[in-house]
Amino acid sequence: MARTVPRLGRLTRATLVACGTALLLVVSGTAAAQARTGLNATTEVFIQDTSSDTGAEPSTVSPYWTSPAIKVCPWTATTPPVECSASQDQLVIGNSYHVWVTLSNSGTADAVGTLELRRTKPGGATNWNTDWATIGVKTEVTVPAGGVTRVFVQFDNVPGPGHFCLAALWDSDGDELKAFPADQDKVVTNDNNVAQRNVNSIALKKSQQESRSYSIGNNTGVTTHTNLVLSALGTPFQLSGGQIVVDLGPVLFQRWQQAGSWSSGVQPIGGTRLQLVSSTAKIEELTLNPAERVTVSLLFTAGSSMPVGGVYGLSVDQGKPSPITCNPGPTSCPPPPNRTPVGGVRYAITVTA
């Protein structure tokens, strides 16, 4: 089958210079990086999807879009830069950061290849490659047999909105990046050379509101229905004095109404806004055109009586798009089907003084 992605290891010198990326390798393992010559030696580099991921293909861990192997750290002027202990997942527009990627090699030979770091708008399903932009590329990266290599990529002059879904992609001879499958939702789960991190931090003062954009996508060639599932992680923010509102915007809200206004755990509060009133909420039968990506707004407001230091979590996942099989008319449509999540964002919410 013809490859649908470029071999990362074949990038030109001009391309690398244009990326304007500073990178450093920090290598750990049983031996210094050097070629293994055994006839049966193999390489098997993987990037963890979760902390329990051992590189199996296809990946069965969930959610696969919160990779601990991708970590965003504040920029430091030291060489090497300081690797932070916890990822900083809300970036300041215009600032620079170091994004660290951990590469593991469970094979018996050292691997030498190329790492690429990409970004896209925060949200659910995406089209590979059109929805993704390159942050930086590093060639001649060595991952020792049975060891780990940590690579940092400098992310300069962060553009708006200040939060992105990040993806790391590895490619090497003998452990090539797989051609992207026709089912775009399986790019990450089918290939342990690809990982994503879609996590965002929100710090709110009492009575303060913060907005986050969220893009839902249709990565197929036909018009589809999809859904949004919003689930509390731990104590529900929206049932503890806080408020979470989804603003679908005029176009998507009208389509949602035309499809029957299917939902649970939300109530309309005027205009195109739906407020979460349960620990889990669903907004169903959202219509998307072929290859379309629509951005909605998530509004978080901390209540005046909420305790300072309170920590809450919210997972916002998009369900797998599927062709439309029913349009409301003289007879109503059956209830929406259950949908496998194909992408999302985890929000960590903290109430501050």
Fold of the 8-197 domain: Immunoglobulin-like (2.60.40)
pLDDT for position 305: 95
Both tokens of 108, joined, read: 């018996």
Pairwise CA distance, residues 140 & 33, whole Å: 11
pLDDT tens by residue, 152-196: 999 999 998 888 999 999 999 999 999 999 999 999 999 999 999
Q: Is the entire prediction scored with pTM above 0.85?
A: yes
Question: Tens digits of per-residue pLDDT, 230-264?
Answer: 999 999 999 999 999 999 999 999 999 999 999 99
Q: How many Å apart are CA 66 and CA 293, to the nearest integer?
A: 21
Most trustworthy range by pLDDT among 17-26, 29-38, 50-59: 50-59
Q: What percent of the chain has pLDDT over 90?
A: 83
**Residue 321 region, left (φ>0) first, then alpha (ψ -120 to 50), else beta?**
beta
> pLDDT value at position 1?
42
201-352 CATH pick, 2.60.40.10, 3.90.420.10, 1.20.1300.10, 3.30.70.20: 2.60.40.10
Instruction: Give yes or no for residue 11 having a pLDDT over 60.
Output: no
Residue 168, classed as helix, strand or coil, is strand
The letter for the amino acid at 341 is P
Ranges in the chain annotated CATH 2.60.40.10: 8-197, 201-352
